[in-house]
Amino acid sequence: MNSTPETTVIDPEDRERVLMHMRSTQRLAPAIVAGAVAAVIGAAVWAAIAVFTKQEIGWIAIGLGFVVGMAVRFAGNGFEVRYAVIGAFLSLAGVVLGKFLALCGAFAQMSGVPFSDILQNFPYQELPAIMRESFQFIDLLFYALSVWCGWKYARREIDDAEIAAAHRTLKSER
């Protein structure tokens, strides 16, 4: 009795047709939108936690990367590298936005000025200097882990079994 799964050999032309079909099921725009929404929500949650606890919790950045990556994966159904790049980029954007919002929230809390006023009157030309000033070396680790999670979870891996199943489905539809 053989316990290994049966493998189906697929002709290279058929394999390419299956991959072309699978590529056509990917959804780039929904992946970008879902990832961006997840990044903004994650940034807001991270900032709120940082303001209320009066400390930045780096693990939240990793969770943000995971959530962004999964949003890109499920909305985009992508398996190509571009989906991983989108997940990584949006994860980085989310943690940077979260850091900015946390700084604004902390300043609003310390000064007694409403958060919306801080955002409206923020000296955005000074943002790079402010971000550098508040940067700690450990931030780099959590930013990198967030980007890695965004990269890792944003695209799904396809294997020969999935290609074989898609091949059988396409053959039966002919």
What is the model's pLDDT at position 109? 92
pLDDT tens profile 114-138: 999 999 999 999 989 988 888 888 8
Own/partner pairs for 63-66, CB < 8 Å, 24+ apart?
64/38, 64/39, 64/91, 64/94, 64/95, 64/98, 64/146, 65/91, 65/94, 65/95, 65/145, 65/146, 65/147, 65/148, 65/149, 65/150, 65/153, 66/149, 66/150, 66/153
pLDDT tens profile 86-118: 999 999 999 999 999 999 999 999 999 999 999
What is the model's pLDDT at position 160? 80
What is the model's pLDDT at position 45? 96
What is the model's pLDDT at position 112? 93
- What angle, 0 to 180 degrees and rounded to 10, lies between the N-to-C axes of helices 81-111 and 137-153? 140
Total-model pTM: 0.84
User: Would you place residue 23 in the very low, low, confident or very high pLDDT band (cuts 50, 70, 90)?
Assistant: confident
Percent of the chain with pLDDT over 90: 60
Tokens 């002919």 correspond to what residue? Answer: 174
Tokens of 61: 């950045």
User: Would you place residue 55 in the very low, low, confident or very high pLDDT band (cuts 50, 70, 90)?
Assistant: confident
User: Would you place residue 25 in the very low, low, confident or very high pLDDT band (cuts 50, 70, 90)?
Assistant: confident
